[in-house]
Copies of this chain bind each other. A is one copy, B any other.
Amino acid sequence: MAVTIYDIAREANVGIGTVSRVLNNSPKVTTETRDKVVTVAKRLNYQPHAFAQALARKRSNTLSAIIPFFTNYFFIQVLQGVQETLAAVGYDLIIHGANTQEQLEEYLVRSMRKGRVDGTLLFSLELPDVFVENFIDKKNPLVLVDTFHPLFDSIRVDNVIGAKKATEHLISLGHTSIGMLNANLKSVRAKERLSSFKETMQLHGLDIHEEFIFNSTFTKNDGFSREAGYDAMIGLIRSGAKLPTAFFVSSDVQAIGMLAALRENQIRVPEDIAIVSFDDIEIAKFFDLTTMRQPMFEMGEIAVKKMLERIENPSAPISSTNFTPTLVVRSSCGANKNYIFSDSN
């Protein structure tokens, strides 16, 4: 069996209490005994038993993250922010990929097991009502990322302003016939981006051509996928309709699919069709996409910070922060004729 504090206590001729105190840097120990204990602990190659610690301390120093669609680049980048921030404070991260509502609930239940984790991070998924009171009753810290509930801390991106900026960029470039290639309206993000797009068009006195607005019917990834973008564009091209001169696309991955469809049909970007998309995932620059950047890494970082604060102070007021996406101009919109790849883009 592994070495325990009893072994150390015996070898060092002290009580286990003292060993524990030394290990936890309690000030009430003589330098002498401290040294003695430390030496023995090192010699025995002692490693504390995390669960026993967690049980006694009622603290696990572990967080869980529930995310949909594990392979989505957006999440991966937010997760990186989470992971690095957590690592810096010695916390562990348990990852739960929830692809179905059933799984989501299972993971939520699991995360609520008292003691298992100190808090849970929920990504982009709507918190089922049943769990709302559950989390509150059990005082189980929960912070929402890219989703919202008035009773919990949250971090979001302002889709309304983002879509507005994107649309206005296209308008400022002289486009008047602008379409939108959207994800599935089941997603709140998609809904918000669409309505903001429409409002912005109206605000500038431009016509909204409903036939140029495509809401994906894909369910996988809620239509935030390359296939969704590809299929929508191919469908439009095949229909033979006259194309708009510009598109606002609800995500980079969809824009990438759209690009493939356009290329196959010898339609040039940005000459024939200008594109502004959303997210600025890492590969967006590979495709020279002009897009709305979301500070993904920072979102993860801040989510963790909020969580740690919540753990420290459970009764602090609820805090909800909104990030405003920024426009990153590359070549897909036609504004930047001399765009050349560089890592800082």
User: Which residues from chain A sit less than 8 Å from chain B, CB to CB?
Assistant: 1-2, 45, 47-52, 54-55, 60, 62, 64, 70-71, 76-77, 79-80, 83-84, 87, 92-97, 103, 109-110, 112-116, 134, 138, 226-227, 230, 256, 260, 264, 282-283, 286-287, 340-341, 343
Contacts and interface: CB of A to CB of B under 8 A. Distances in A.
A219 to B, nearest CB: 15
Q: From A51, A70, A226, name the one whose CB has the most chain B CB atoms within 10 angstroms.
A: A51
A113 B60 CA distance: 14
Contacts of A114: 1-2, 47, 49
B109 A47 contact: yes
Given A83-B95, A97-B84, A55 B51 contact: yes
Identify the 8 closest CB pairs spanning chains A and B, nearest first.
A2-B114, A50-B116, A51-B51, A47-B113, A49-B115, A51-B54, A51-B55, A70-B80
20 contacts: A1-B114, A45-B134, A47-B112, A49-B113, A49-B114, A49-B115, A51-B51, A51-B115, A51-B116, A52-B115, A55-B55, A70-B79, A71-B76, A71-B282, A80-B97, A84-B97, A260-B341, A264-B340, A283-B286, A286-B287
